Each structure stands twice: as structure tokens, then as C-alpha cells.
Amino acid sequence: MHTNNPIYFDHASSTPVHPDIIKGLTELTTAHYANSESLHQAGLDIQTMMRKSREAIAVMLKVKSDDLYFTSGATESNNLLIKGIAFAYQNKGKHLITTRVEHSSVLDSFQDLESFFGFEVTYLNVDQEGRVRLEELETALRPDTTLVSIMAVNNEVGTIMPIEACAQIIRSKSQAVFHVDCVQALTKIEFNYDLVDCASFSAHKINGVKGSGLLYKKDRVLYHPLITGGQQEKGIRPGTPNAVHHILMAKTIRLAFEQATAKHAQVLEIKHYLLDAFKSMESIVVNSPLHGCSDYILNISCLKVPSQIMLNWLSSHQIYVSAMATCLNRDVRPSHVLEAMGIDGGRLNGVIRISIGYVNNLEDAKRLLEVMEEGIKKYGRI
Amino acid sequence: MVEFKAERVLTRFGELSNKGKNRKLFVKQLIANLKAQLSAYPEVKYKNHFDRIMVELNGAPEDKVIDLMRHVFGIRSISPVVLCDADMDTITQVCLHLMQKEEACTFKVMTNRKDKHLPYSSDALNRSVATAILLNTEHKVDVHKPELKIKIDVDMEKAAISTRVVEGAGGFPIGVGGKALLLLSGGIDSPVAAYHIMRRGVEVECIHFAAPPYTTIQALDKVKQLAEILTAYQAKLKLHIVPFTDIQMEIYKQAGPDYGVILMRRSMMRIAEVIAENNKCLALVTGENLGQVASQTLQSMHAIEADVDMLMLRPLLSLEKNEIIDQAKKIGTYETSILPYEDCCTIFKVSNPVTKPKLKIVRLEEAKCDLQDKEEIALANIETFVFPSIEENYL
């Protein structure tokens, strides 16, 4: 069966904006253009809506609304938290810990601290499934460790990290602040935010708008502002707030939770269908772990076709997947995540990430397989 | 491990269980209040037993329901109840699971067999449950003064198990004691006063005096936020906003500044009295506290209420400031109350207000002002808001 509609399997990169959010965006942008910091009624109205959005998010995430700050996205949240916390505690210690498989906005923040600000960073290895080893974390912790950052769900392979166990170790063995990049976890896995000290979120990964993010930081965690110039967001993120985006963040998260419940079976069905098919194909190796993995992410390697060629082939059929983490697509470097998992050779060159969203159905999965098989036949090295 | 979720919430009454003939009315009101507070969960059903209400969750989230119920007055305590099959192994497993979630404490198992044909004795079940808990957790048995009681009601079909006891808000169901009108200023005290009156079963309506443009829209918004917070205790709350500027200006123009605050308070009471009568309120409530500020001496209070023909309640009269602050924190209004916006009491502050006013002079000073028309205009221009405000469609 051929269809002319594009098939989108790249939801870990970005997602279609929910129609209710588009509607809200149009309505709010038209009606509420005042500065949320202005003291008149128009300003107060916007401030009230931002407050209610923050409170609604706090209820959904089971955190305090005072601990939530709006940002322009997870890259900003990660940068602000990692650098802002490292700077705030630098008189206590300059040792930091993260993993080899973090998103580039986390890794580059640490590398920046290492290269230009005299911090020492331990990069934790991961096992074959991309999971951090608890013993290694425990050994890495030192009296001068001030910050540990470990992602909740890996964006490339979908591995769920043992965050609860990490939190326990960090709490019992050190004084370090625990930051978690929750971009791929939000609404998609159960997560107890109370266990961690701070976290980063993004709206556009859960059918919200781009340029909209969230930062969670418990009150007792010290912070040195990276951006200065005003008291907006209590000085953590100064600058006139992108109020409409912030107001819609609550609705974005609510709708995502609702979709996650209503469409979970459908997502699982697609994932299992693809997984079963890939397991039976001899030129395909599954890189995502079979257990403890996000239901939304499936990472494979095609041993016979390099990933860029497969991506282009699928793209010419209007089927959209990722070859590596999108933020690195322009690099020629192979995936740092799969390298850290010990994957090499042809398997490293043929990496494809399929990430499932709520618009997908089983027909999409069938079509993807069909075109992939065709591509392997046509371009596969024997 | 299988998650055992509560299917019912056992609700024990507060003081109303010893209220004789009125009990029936009280329970009816309590159920109505529960329904209003849990209106987001229409699937929840309420069954009235003699000395308790059994709330059937029917799939509603246990934690959210309990959190809402904790604020409903008339309830002494609540316990989630887990239902399971009546065989000894299952019951033991469920009890162990529930106790694993509790902090280490002393406990006692209390079985009540409703059907004596069950193939095990109460004692055998008690021992089975206790043994499993002792072997697998840090809990210890204390049959005399246990910190936690595991209650098992079992018949041939099902066992109902409860361990956790959540403290309720106490008091009487709101509504059984009529209605009162509260002067809500936006400060720390008046929301706490509202809480105390509500807890005695009296429904509260609020009145606020605004003096725009001297008072800011932020100050008014703060009052609305406080009203919104109070809906955790009273499902629906009315707030009347009185435009008070012209009255205040007249008082400060005509009367001596020393008596300004007293005259202002007297005018507020006159207006409040009319609103109270129109809305079937039986008393006026203030957050006044003896000795706190100038208008709160015995002489001042007398001068303020001398011409009021309505019962005046001051539930915080004898509390220490710190006690009021603690209570405000507990009921969740403190953080909002301390937002830095001036209300109409603070805006026209004078440096030396009279602290021991003589009623005779107060009346003389008041006669200098032309207040009747202005009070009538204020009454005609009242704006009324109902909380909780309708769910915003942008959320």
C-alpha cells in the first residue's frame, strides 16, 4: 500500500504541535501582548495566567510551584542549571560528575566548565545497554563533588537510567546536587521529581511549541545566575518572559499526560511490531535495550546500509527518522552514545533511530518496514 | 510487585458523632460538602453507616481524593481501605505490602471475622500477618499501645484492610451553623479567622474594601487569591468588593486624622451589616486581635461595634501573633498574605492614631462627615465574585 502522506517517526527530535496548543497560541498572542511585569491590569492578567500555569504544572509533577521556572527550552535549562550550580558551589569543590551518554547540551556544558573554568569532570561509562553502573557512580563521588547530572531517558537509544538508585547513592555518599535531564521522560515514564534536586524539560518534545522549556530547582539548591538583567523568574532567567509559551506549558503537559494514557497501547503495539520484525531481519541489529527502555524510542543498526543513505532513502519516500541524535546530525562523528555502549564497526555506521508519537499507527510501521527492506535490497552491501 | 490500591476510604466523624437528634442533618451536610469538594470525581459514591461514611472510590485516585478530604470539616480521620480475597495468604501479602510503605513503627493486627465459618481463626490470621511483617520489615509488635493498627474485616468473600490513618480537619460540616460575613483584608489574620469560623460549621462569605486608585490591582488580586485558597475548605466562596475610596477621602477631609481609622472601621461595619442582611449572614467576622494595632484596643473595638446591630465574632481575639502566623502557614494562606501590596487600611495611615477613643467624640467626629450617600453609592456598586473561579480554558 502506498500513501502520499508523510510518515513521521522522529518524535524524539520534535513533535507535531497539538491543535489545542495552536489554538491557544493564536488566541493568547492576539489578546495578551502586554509585558507580564507591567503593573497595570493587562500585565497582571498575564502574570495571573503564568502563575496558574505554574501551579497547574506543579500539581501534575507533584512538586512545589515555587521550584519551577520557565525557560526557552531544555538546552537553556541544562546550561543554566549545570553551570549556575557549579559556579554557586565552586568554593566547596570543583569536581563534577556526568555520564558519557548525555545530550550535547549537558555534555558541552560540562566540557565548557572543564576547559575554561578549571572544573574537574568525571564522565561515567555505561554498560552495553547504555545504563550507568551504580558502583562506578559510588566510586566517582568525592567530598568535593558538588554536582551530578544523569539523564532520565537516553534520547538516542531510549535506555531508562536507574535514577532512584542513583539519587540514593548520591544522597547517602555525598553532598552533591543531583540534576536530571528529563526531556524524554516527561509524561512518558513514571518519575518521582522529589527524588532529584533539579531537572530540565522541553515543550516541543511533547507536542508543545519550540522555544519553550521548564527548569525545576529545589529552593535549597544554590544558584549563580548566568543571565543578568532583571528579576523575572526570580532572577534565574531574567528577560521579558515569553508569557504565551509559559502559559501554554501547563496545557501542553496536561495534554501529553492524557495522550500518554489514551494512546499508550497504540504506541506499544507499534514498537512491538517493529521490534519483532527487526529481530527477524538478519541485516538489522536492535541497539535499544529490550527491558528498561522508553516505549517511544527504538534504535537499530542496519549492517548493510550506512545510516545517512538509509535516512535519505526513507526521506525520499517521505518517511522521517533520525540517523543519530539530530543535534549532531551535521557532524561526521559517530554517535557518542552507541560508542559508549561499546558498539563499533558497521553497526555504528548504520544507526537509525525510530521514535514513535501519537500520530503514528500500525500502517505507518508496516510502510516503514516495506521501504527499509526495499532500501536494503537496493543499496545493501553484500 | 502488584500494587494494592485502596477502593474505599473510611471516614470517621469529628464532634458531630455526639450531637443527638441533629446528627442526621449533620451527616447529610457532610456528604453534600464532600460531594462539592470532590466534584472533579463524579464516580465517587458515599455510603452512610451509623458512625462513619464509606467513600467508594470507583477508580478515582486515592491520593488526590484523600488530599481533598483532609480539608473537609466534620471529619476526624480517614483511612484508605484495600479490598482483597479472603484467603489467609492473600491477606497476609496485602498487609505486608501496605506495611512496607510505612516508616518503622510498632503495630498490632486486629482481625474481625464477620463470618465465623471462615477456615481460620482470627488469632491464626493475626499471627500470619504479624509474622510476615516481623520477618520482612523493621516494624515491631506492641499489642498494648501500638502506633499503627492493622484492621482486617473479613467475611467469606472479601477482606477489607486498613492501616493508614490520616488526620481529618475536625470541627463541624460547613453549613450546619448558618452563614457569616467575614471582612477579608488581604493581611495574615483575616483568612485565619475565616478558617476558624468555617471549622465551627459556619459558612463564610467575604467582603473586601478597595480604595482604587490608592490601592493597587495587585492588592485586589491578592485578596482574590486568598479567597481561592480558602475554597480548599469551603467548596464555594463568595467575595464582595466594595469601592471605598470616596468614603475614605470624606473621612480624612472632614474628621480629625486621629479618628480616621476608627471612623473608617465604623463605616465598613455599617456597609458590611447591610450586605450581611441581604445575604442571610447571621454575624460579622473580623481577624481583629486584642492589642495588636491601634484600632484593636478594647476601647477601639467598643467604639467600632457600638452602633452595629449584629453579632460580631473575633475568633483570633486572644491569639499571639506567632500563633496566627503558624496557623496561616498551616492553612496555606501565609505566602499570599505577605505579598507586599498595601490594602485600604494601610494606605491612609496616620502617625498618631488615637488608641483610647471616647465613643462620644467618635460620634461627634463622624457627624462632621457626609457618609450616608457615599455608603449607599458604595453599596450600589459592589462587585461580587464567586470562587473557585471557573476553570480557565488556557490550562
What chain A holds in terms of domains, given with CATH numbers, is: 7-17+262-379 (3.90.1150.10), 19-258 (3.40.640.10)
pLDDT in tens, A320-354: 999 864 444 555 678 899 999 999 888 888 999 99
CB B175 within 8 A of CB B332: no
| pLDDT of res. A330 | 54
Burial class of B237 by CB neighbour count within 10 A (0 to 12, 13 to 18, 19+):
buried
Does B221 sit within 8 Å of A44, measured CB to CB? yes
Q: Do A40 and B217 touch (CB under 8 A)?
A: yes
Q: What are phi and psi of B307, to 5 degrees?
A: -105, 15
Query: Is residue B118, in this structure, part of any structural domain at all?
Result: yes
Query: If you measure CA to CA, which chain A residue comes closest to B63?
Result: A62
Residue type at position B317: L
Number of A/B CB contacts below 8 angstroms equals 26
> Which of B216, B221, B394 lies closest to A248 in CB terms?
B394
Is B218 within 8 Å of chain A by CB? yes
pLDDT tens for residues B206-263?
Answer: 999 999 988 889 999 999 999 999 999 999 999 999 999 999 999 988 987 788 889 9
Domain end (from B122, B149, B170): B170
Q: Identify whether the C-beta of residue B186 lies closer than 8 Å to the C-beta of residue B342.
A: no
Lowest mean pLDDT among A160-174, A185-199, B42-56: B42-56
pLDDT, chain A, mean: 94
**Of A129-133, A149-153, A229-233, B166-170, minimum mean pLDDT range:** A229-233
Residues of B in contact with A247 (CB under 8 A): 394
**Does the pLDDT of residue A5 top 80, yes or no?**
yes
Same domain, B243 and B125: no
Grid cell for residue A231: 528579576
Q: Which residues share a beta bridge with B234?
A: none
How many whole angstroms separate alpha carbon A55 and alpha carbon A215?
14
Helix or strand holding residue B109 (H, E): strand B106-113
d(Cα A64, Cα A50) in Å, to the nearest integer?
15
Report the pLDDT value the prediction gives residue B211, as an integer from 0 to 100.
92
Mean of pLDDT over chain B: 91
B324, part of any domain: yes
For residues B193 and B147, state if they share a domain: no
Interface of A with B in 30-59 (CB under 8 A): 39-41, 44, 48-49, 52-53, 56
In a domain, B395, yes or no: no
CATH code assigned at B317: 3.40.50.620
Most B CBs within 10 A among A51, A52, A192, hence the mutation to make, goes to A52
A244 touches chain B (CB under 8 A): no
The answer on B382 and B316 residing in a single domain is yes
Q: Of A299, A271, A269, A303, which is closest to residue A286 (Cα–Cα)?
A: A299
Residue B41 above 90 pLDDT?
Answer: yes
Mean pLDDT of all residues in A248-270: 97
Give the C-alpha separation, B337 to B335, whole Å.
6
Closest alpha carbon to A345 in A306, A297, A308, A314? A306
Rounded distance between C-alpha atoms, residue B311 and residue B139, angstroms: 53
Q: State percent of chain B over pLDDT 70.
A: 94
Residue A134, judged by CB atoms within 10 A of its CB (0-12, 13-18, 19+), counts as middle
A226 pLDDT band, cuts 50/70/90, is very high
- On whether both B230 and B358 belong to a single domain, the answer is yes
Closest residue in A to B222 (Cα–Cα): A48
Cα–Cα separations (whole angstroms), residue B138 to A125, A378, B127: 36, 65, 17
B392 CA: distance to closest CA in chain A (Å)? 9
Q: Is the pLDDT of residue A108 over 50?
A: yes
In this prediction, residues B97-125 reach a mean pLDDT of 91
Report the pLDDT value the prediction gives residue B346, as an integer from 0 to 100. 56
Cα–Cα distance, A250 to A55 (Å, whole number): 8
Residue A69, all three cell numbers: 521556572
Q: What is the pLDDT of residue A3?
A: 52
Check whether B52 has a pLDDT greater than 90. no
User: Can you read off the three cell numbers belonging to residue B239?
Assistant: 467575595
User: What single DSSP character describes residue B314?
Assistant: -
pLDDT interval class at A97 (50, 70, 90): very high
Which three three-digit cell numbers place residue A148? 551530578
- Yes or no, beta carbons of B392 and A52 under 8 Å apart: yes
How sure is the predictor about A210, in pLDDT bands with cuts at 50, 70 and 90? very high
Which of A18, A41, A194 has the most B C-beta neighbours within 10 Å, making it the best mutation to test the interface with B? A41
Q: What is the CA radius of gyration of chain B?
A: 27
Tens-digit pLDDT profile for residues B342-370:
665 555 666 677 888 899 999 999 999 99
pLDDT the model gives residue B115: 86
Q: B216: which chain A residues are within 8 Å (Cβ-Cβ)?
A: 39
Say if CB A181 and CB A152 are below 8 A apart: yes
Q: What chain B residue is nearest to A55 in terms of C-alpha separation? A: B395
Query: Cβ of B364 under 8 Å from any chain A Cβ?
Result: no
Q: Which of B135, B170, B205 is the last residue of a domain?
A: B170
On whether the CB atoms of residues B152 and B160 are closer than 8 A, the answer is yes
A95-99 and A120-124: which strand pairing?
parallel
Nearest chain B residue to A40 by CA: give it. Answer: B217
- Confirm whether A327 is a catalytic residue: yes
> Do both B332 and B187 map to the same domain?
yes
Position B260 in a domain: yes
Of A79-88, A214-223, B292-301, least confident by mean pLDDT is: B292-301
Domains identified in chain B, total number: 2
- Per-position DSSP letters for B340-389, written without gaps between them: S---HHHHT--SS--SS--HHHHHHHHHTS--HHHHHHHHHT-EEEEESP
Query: Does residue B49 lie within any of the structural domains?
Result: yes
Looking up residue B94, the CATH number of its domain turns out to be: 3.30.2130.30
What pLDDT shows up at residue B238?
Answer: 98
Beta-sheet pairing, A319-320 with A297-302: unpaired
Which residues lie below 8 Å from residue A56, measured CB to CB, with a gap of 6+?
Answer: A250, A254, B395
B144 and B252 co-located in one domain: no
A82 pLDDT band (50/70/90 cuts)? very high
Same domain, B84 and B203: no
Query: In this structure, are B161 and B118 located in the same domain?
Result: yes
Q: Which one is predicted more confidently, A44 or A3?
A: A44
Q: Is residue B221 part of a domain?
A: yes
User: Between chains, do B394 and A48 touch, taking CB under 8 Å as contact?
Assistant: no
Q: How do residues A262-282 score in pLDDT, each as one tens digit? A: 999 999 999 999 999 999 999
pLDDT value of position B24: 86
Q: In whole angstroms, what is the distance from residue B43 CA to residue B56 CA?
A: 8
Residues A140/A122, Cβ–Cβ less than 8 Å: yes
Tell me the C-alpha distance between A255 and B109, whole Å. Answer: 44
Query: Residue A2: is its pLDDT beyond 60?
Result: no
- Judgement on whether residues B200 and B163 belong to the same structural domain of the protein: no
Q: Is A330 on the interface with B (CB under 8 A)?
A: no
Of B259 and A22, more confident:
A22
**Residues B281 and B165 occupy one common structural domain:** no
Q: Do A44 and B217 touch (CB under 8 A)?
A: yes
Three-class SS of A204-258: HHHCCCCCCEEEEECCCCCCCCCCCCCCHHHHCCCCCCCHHHHHHHHHHHHHHHH
A28: nearest CB among B217, B221, B394: B394
Helix-helix angle A74-88:A104-116, to 10 degrees: 30
Residues of A in contact with B217 (CB under 8 A): 39-41, 44
pLDDT tens digits for A135-152? Answer: 999 999 999 999 999 999
Higher pLDDT, B215 or B333: B333
Q: Is residue B1 part of a domain?
A: no
Domain that holds residue B357: 179-387
**Tens digit of each residue's pLDDT (9 = 90 or more) over B144-187:** 999 999 999 998 888 999 998 999 999 999 999 999 999 999 99
B101 belongs to a structural domain:
yes
Q: Could you tell me if B241 and B373 lie in one domain?
A: yes
Same domain for B117 and B57: yes
Residue of chain B whose Cα is closest to the Cα of A29: B394
Q: What is the pLDDT of residue B90?
A: 93
- The domain boundary, picked from B170, B205, B227, lies at B170
